[in-house]
Amino acid sequence: MEVWLFVPCLVDQFYPEVGEGMARILARLGCRVHYPPAQTCCGQPAFNTGYWEDARRVARHFLRVFADAPVVVAPSGSCVAMARVFSQRLFHGQPEQEAATALAQRVFEFSEFVVKRLGQDDLGARFEGKVAYHASCHLLRELGVSEEPLRLLRKVRGLELVEMNDAQACCGFGGTFAVKFPELSTAMALYKLEQAQKAGAEYVVMNDISCVLQLQGVIERRGLPLRALHLVHVLSGEGLA
């Protein structure tokens, strides 16, 4: 199966190893991996903040780049939600409506693709430590992906999965919300991290790089004995040094 990678801007610039890990895993599972170099961003930041004209400019570019993709896979629930759900609203009644709807059917989040489409959950990974899973909001509520990441984590050797209270509560990132309401956003992150610590976790693992940025940012500032990781970090062993 041919798979086109979408490596969202935050992954591309801050956590490239997550893109790399994803590519390696997909290749190992027998996919022919292709990366269109003209890709940039999905347009979500502007969409969520209400600048829809600006969002359309970027989302249009996204549509062009992936127009011929048989399947697009990305390691981020919220960017996939943009391409699958929000772009349909953004282009509603616009010339790109048809293209947006067509592409929406072919975009998948990494864990969803691996478990549902490829039917794999044991990737032969090894990871030592106590892990609490944080259900990223867009992945969970816009895409309805809840079990897939957990199935992948349960098969990791050496990994002890601990359940934290309120695992499905938001981490407080929320795009521009994080800077429009910084105190509130941080309070939400702290609550989340407190739940992880109470559960005895050493790592909080999630499927969205923006949540990683948010939680790791608070962890470092507060010097908490935790680390926020992307699911791909755990599954691929990339970037853990």
Partner 1 sequence: MSRVILDSRYFYQNVRVSLDDSALQNALRKACDEVLGKRAALVASTPHWEELRRAAHRIKEHTLARLDYYLLQLEKNLEAQGVRVHWAENAEEACTEILTIARKHNVWTAVKSKSMTSEEVGLNAFLEGRKIRPVETDLGEYIQQLSGEPPFHIVTPAMHRTRQDVGRIFAEKLGVDYTEDPEALTQIARRTLRRDFLSAEMGITGANFAVADPGLIGVVENEGNARLSTTAPRVHVVLMGIEKVIPTLEDLRVFLNLLSISSTAQRLPCYVNLIRSPRQEGDRDGPEEVHVVLLDNGRSRILADPAMRSSLYCIRCGACLNVCPVFQRVGGHAYGWVYQGPIGSVLTPLYRGLEYGYQLPFGSSLCGACAEICPVAIDVNHLLVELRARIQSGLNTSGLLERLAFRVWSFVASRPRLYRAGALLVRVAQSLALPRRRHLRLPVWSRTRTFPKLARRSFYRRWRQLADQLSP
Query: Taking CB under 8 A as the criterion, which residues in 184-223 touch partner 1?
Result: 184-189, 191, 213-214, 216-218, 220-221
Please give the size of the binding site for partner 1, defined by CB under 8 A: 73
Q: Which amino acid is at 4?
A: W
Residue 35 is a binding residue for partner 1 (CB under 8 A): yes
Q: Which stretch binds partner 1 (CB under 8 A): 45-53, 100-108, 121-129, 148-156?
A: 45-53
Residue 89 is a binding residue for partner 1 (CB under 8 A): yes
Instruction: Give the shortest CB-140-to-partner 1 separation in angstroms.
Output: 8
Interface with partner 1 (CB under 8 A), residue from 3, 4, 15, 145 = 15
Q: Which stretch binds partner 1 (CB under 8 A): 9-17, 106-114, 196-204, 224-232?
A: 9-17
Q: Which stretch binds partner 1 (CB under 8 A): 104-112, 119-127, 150-158, 179-187?
A: 179-187
Q: Between 19 and 159, whose beta carbon lies closer to partner 1?
A: 19
Residue 37 is a binding residue for partner 1 (CB under 8 A): yes
